[in-house]
Amino acid sequence: MANLLPLLTLISLLFLLPHHTLAFSPDTPTGRRILVLVDDLAIRSSHALYFKSLTSRNYDLELRLADDPKLALQRYGQYLYDGLILFCPTVERFGGAIIKEAVLDFVDSGRDLVLAADEDASDLIREIATECGVDFDEDPAALVIDHASYAVSSTEGDHTLIASDDFIQSDVILGSKAIEAPVLFQGVGHSLNPANNLVLKVLSASPSAYSANPKFTLSNAPVLTGSAISLVSVVQARNNARILISGSLKIFSDRFEKSGNEQFLTELSKWIFHERGHLKAVNVKHHKVGEVDEPSIYRITDDLEYSVEIYEWSGTSWEPYVADDVQIQFYMMSPYVLKTLSTDQKGLYYTSFKVPDVYGVFKFKVEYQRLGYTSLSLSKQIPVRPFRHNEYERFITTAYPYYGACFSMVS
Amino acid sequence: MRRGETATTTRMGPLGLLVLLLLSAISLCGAKIVYPISDSHRSAALELFSPSFESLKEAYEALRTFEVLGVEINNYRSTQACQSVLNTLGSSSSDVKDVYYALRVQKILKCDAGWENIKDVTLKLQSTICGASSLFDFYFSVGSLVLIKELDIDAEVKLEDANGVFRSIKSLGQSDGRWRYNSNNPESSTRAAGIAIEALAGVVSLAPLDVDLSLIGSVKTSIAKLFESIEKYDDGALYFDEKIVDARDYQGPLSTSLSVVHGFVALADVTSEAINVPREKLLGLAKFFLCVGMPGNAHDFYSQIDSLALLERNNFSIPLILSLPSTVLSLTRKDQLKVTLNTVLGSSAPPVSVKLVQAAVSGSKDSPIINNQELRFDSASGFHVLDSLPESADVGPYEFSFRVDLPDADISNFYATGGITKVSIYLTGLTKLEGAEIAILDSDHGSIDTKNKLELAGKNSVALSANHLQKMRLSFTLSSPLGNAFKPHQVLLKLRYETNIEHVFVIGNSGKQFELILDFLELVDKLYYLSGRYDIELTVGDAVMENSFVQPLGHINLELPTTPEKAARPPPPPVDPYLRYGPKAEISHIFRAPEKRPPREVSLVFLGLTLVPLGGFLIGLLSFGVSLKGFPTSAVPAVFAILFHLGIAGVLTLYLLFWLKLNLFTTLKILGFLGVFLLFTGHRILSHLASVSAKSKSA
């Protein structure tokens, strides 16, 4: 038995090894292992293009039924996946050890989530969406209807298959190439909680849209109307976890060939799985002008230089991030200096400024928050001291009369 | 915004739309009507299958799909495939599975293969059958032998112990109609059942003598049992799926259903007796394969097309699919109702008549607009056409029921049409909207204060103003093309406040007259007591209206009372994400201004002034003459006196140095030494002076 033990350890190590190498880490933000939960395994066929676009980008998809009793997100405290795709709008409860809180903890650990609801979405799916700041129309039979911008089709008469091209204006979320055709959408609309500033509307409905049950006449004014209806939204959490919430599962399917759906969703999945818009800052340096070493303290009115390098993850490597709006704050209770950093277009951002004539404990703060990018929050504490007794001006002409008076007095 | 401007024409394969219809929560099949395979499948197939094959299985799936769809197989593909067929059949060490797929590819491509090795291959296959324990061994080797037999070359292909092989395959079968893959594995599978039945059919065709009828009978019962376990979607589509899904081996419902279809079609081909599979089930299976649409994965695509091909050419029942090229018919364009009847692969059906059993407004109990009318068959286009809709047909959603009548009993026994097919049809048209006006009414006696006519076809920009004691009235009449009352689904008035707070009101109707009265006194609470400009927007839309619109009407300036303390606060306006993230305004520190100093000259003048008394003193000293009388004359006191004065001069120099460069600590240190020195010399010189003066006094 004693001889077996090292062998067993080795085997278990070997078993764990690939998980570690593939695991999600700050150095490589794109996780590879994605769990896809579905209601019906036929989704593998009907949504094959979406899955193919993921597998062709080297994601490792594991497709499971949402009520599979063997489901687990983590084992021995380690997450088994880096991303979770919930294509199971009707699931009332997940199988295995997954509950709503487990999904939210998964996101809280910085991992990504894609959630698709549909008409008749279950309470579980709605609750997860609500936790992410997205409220689906409460009427379970409501669909987004648009009598003005619907997909013209000879077989769709009820105008619930709508065409929308009201995208968020952000190259980092949707790619630099414009989405070529409108996105076709059929499903539930949602609204965003205005107090939540982490959630963004990526695809909105047109001004003539409304959310209602197409089967019954409207007796009350619809709660969701016009471009306030969000069709697809994303959340970027404070820990940089990204969430995609769509009111339609069909939007992901292979049906809408000639529409912009495939491009839209592929680009969006690149953003969700951190192939774009993930920033890191390294080599934060500051020193007095003309020196190299970082001092432990500055004196008031010193001239200093500050530099930081910022890189963006491209899915495979860190590329220099180019922008002209990175700002530094010299901060004590409130910013004393707020300056835009100059850049060499190769990822290096630098500036120089004079330390204010106020002493105390300051911070160099870079708070970089841009639409679609992960937020950078750098903070470095640095004390600032007043002049020493011998650092004041020595020969003040104005004082000469006093010296003279003393001298003549003493003499 | 008019419809023509924003409506997006999106061309999609008709199959593309199937799954979108409502009612069903199932994501794969939710369609009520399905469409046969069309040209879009052919182009999709060319895109989906990669030009070079990784394995013979992949090659076979691609070639079989192309064969069924009638897509031309290009030279590159066929040479490549033939090459691997030759390699596989030429080598004696090839895997049974590869041999099987090589023979299948050969059957399609008819490559110029040399058959010198075929006897060895046959012998090897026969020996594999004898020693086989797993279902796949049986399946591939029996299948290969059947294919070699079909090749029609003089190879002796026979299965001597057909009954024995049959029994050993049968022994893997389970009582519920499913099969095990292998005798060691207790788990049974539906897909395995299909594979086993196909293998059994192969055994039957290879048997030199007839196989025991009771054995075939038992297979038939297991087929019947298999069909009992068939699964069902809401719309009548039927499919086979595994009961227990093991993610590793699981191939999906398309693949599973394909294997079962393969099985019973093969068995039906080799036995003379009929197999009792209900025709409706075959139609259900066909619907399932069609409603999948266009699978995005090559294997699923092959499964779909191959199954449909088998369903189309099987010899006991052929499903016929009734479909409509368009379910949205415009009354303005006088669209005709057209119905087509095809086999699953889109070839035309035998001469049949299609009857429109009933057409009625969906969800209403009114009498149907059409009863029992036969559609005219237009042989040129292949459509069954309803020449004109009855005069009484107004816009609205309708439900049409069709029935396919087969001319004689022979045909009707052979084709499966599925009874009555119900289809939702939308009749659309232009509604008439007239007499629109917007008015401000005085509350107490309802007299009209201001009144504006609206041109809903053109642009409007009314400017109204009202206070909380007044009312706003919007009215118009709306009627259907036939002049009937018609209530669109969406008749909404929207008031939008300056800060983007929106209030939506539903406009009610009585008959053709639509009217909305907003009594601002009742609404003040809802409007959060916000006075100011409200934009008015009218939206009228319905699925059957061809002239749905959203139109800004203008604005109204409201004067509302001041907000009472208890009133609800207006909701925070939505934050614009683009503004939230911009760079902030730069801040630069304003340094304390240095204290104001007088000009240098002034200081110097004052310095001169302060030095004037010193100068005066020195001049006085010089002019009165310095008396050095008291200076000691004897040597020792004189030295001390000189040292004392030097010490004072040193202190003064030290002060000068302190100002120029030294700091306080060095200065005090040196001053300490100088002080002691001064104390000593001072004491000596003073004591000398004291003794001198004491002497002179005493003298």
Q: Which of A48, A63, A207 sits opposite B296 (nearest CB)?
A: A48
- pLDDT at residue B89 in the model: 81
Q: Which of A214, A254, A325 sits opposite B294 (nearest CB)?
A: A254
**What part of A 356-375 touches B (C-beta under 8 Å)?**
356-358, 369-371
The Cα–Cα gap between B524 and B511 comes to 30
A262 at the B interface (CB within 8 A)? no
- Residue position matching structure tokens 């907003």: B518
B25 has a pLDDT exceeding 70 = no
Are residues B20 and A161, on separate chains, in Cβ contact within 8 Å?
yes
Residue of chain B minimizing CA distance to A338: B587
Computed over every residue of chain B, the mean pLDDT equals: 82
A312 has a pLDDT exceeding 80 = yes
CA distance, residue A157 to nearest chain B CA (Å): 6
The answer to whether the CB of B474 falls within 8 A of the CB of B567 is no
Number of A to B CB contacts under 8 A, please give it. Answer: 310
For residue range A67-89, list pLDDT tens digits in order.
888 888 988 888 999 999 999 99
**What part of A 35-74 touches B (C-beta under 8 Å)?**
38-49, 51-52, 62-65, 68
- pLDDT at residue B1 in the model: 37
Are residues B328 and A214, on separate chains, in Cβ contact within 8 Å?
no
CA distance, residue B19 to nearest chain A CA (Å): 8
The Cα–Cα gap between B303 and B427 comes to 37
B4 has a pLDDT exceeding 60 = no
Helix B96-109 vs helix B75-90: crossing angle, to nearest 10? 140
- pLDDT at residue B2 in the model: 38
Taking alpha carbons only, the member of B68, B90, B67, B69 closest to residue B77 is B67
Lowest mean pLDDT among A19-23, B54-58, B67-71, B217-221: A19-23
CA distance, residue B503 to nearest chain A CA (Å): 9
**Average pLDDT rounded to a whole number, residues B227-245:** 80
Residue of chain A minimizing CA distance to B538: A208
Q: Which of A6-15, A388-397, B477-486, B560-569 has the highest mean pLDDT?
A: B477-486
Residue of chain B minimizing CA distance to A389: B663
Are residues A255 and B19, on separate chains, in Cβ contact within 8 Å?
yes
Are residues B6 and A148, on separate chains, in Cβ contact within 8 Å?
yes
A35 has a pLDDT exceeding 90 = yes
For residue range B323-380, list pLDDT tens digits in order.
888 888 888 888 888 888 888 888 877 788 888 888 888 877 778 888 888 888 888 8
- pLDDT at residue B28 in the model: 54
Q: Which of A135, A146, A147 to mutate to test the interface with B (most CBs of B within 10 A)?
A: A147
CA distance, residue B544 to nearest chain A CA (Å): 8
The answer to whether the CB of B220 falls within 8 A of the CB of B200 is no
Confidence of residue B19 (pLDDT cuts 50, 70, 90): very low
Confidence of residue A233 (pLDDT cuts 50, 70, 90): very high
A199 at the B interface (CB within 8 A)? no
Confidence of residue A16 (pLDDT cuts 50, 70, 90): very low
CA distance, residue A197 to nearest chain B CA (Å): 8
Are residues A155 and B17, on separate chains, in Cβ contact within 8 Å?
yes
Confidence of residue B29 (pLDDT cuts 50, 70, 90): low
By CB neighbour count within 10 A (0-12 exposed, 13-18 middle, 19+ buried), where does B15 fall?
Answer: buried
Taking alpha carbons only, the member of B406, B127, B412, B147 closest to residue B266 is B147
CA distance, residue B541 to nearest chain A CA (Å): 5
Confidence of residue B180 (pLDDT cuts 50, 70, 90): confident
Taking alpha carbons only, the member of B515, B532, B535, B518 closest to residue B469 is B518
B319 strand-pairing partners: B416
Are residues A194 and B580, on separate chains, in Cβ contact within 8 Å?
no
- pLDDT at residue B230 in the model: 87
A24 has a pLDDT exceeding 90 = no
The answer to whether the CB of A155 falls within 8 A of the CB of A199 is no
Q: Which of B3, B583, B587 sits opposite A148 (nearest CB)?
A: B3
For residue range A45-64, list pLDDT tens digits in order.
788 889 989 999 989 999 88
Which residues are CB-contacts of B596 (< 8 A; sequence separation ≥ 6)?
A: none
For residue range B576-610, list pLDDT tens digits in order.
778 788 888 999 999 888 888 888 899 899 888 88
**Average pLDDT rounded to a whole number, residues A238-267:** 88
- pLDDT at residue A327 in the model: 93
**What part of A 154-173 touches B (C-beta under 8 Å)?**
154-161, 163, 165, 168-169
First to last CA, chain A: 103
The Cα–Cα gap between B233 and B25 comes to 10
The answer to whether the CB of A383 falls within 8 A of the CB of A405 is no
Are residues A42 and B27, on separate chains, in Cβ contact within 8 Å?
yes
More confident residue, A185 or B6: A185
A217 at the B interface (CB within 8 A)? yes
CA distance, residue A1 to nearest chain B CA (Å): 30
B412 has a pLDDT exceeding 80 = no
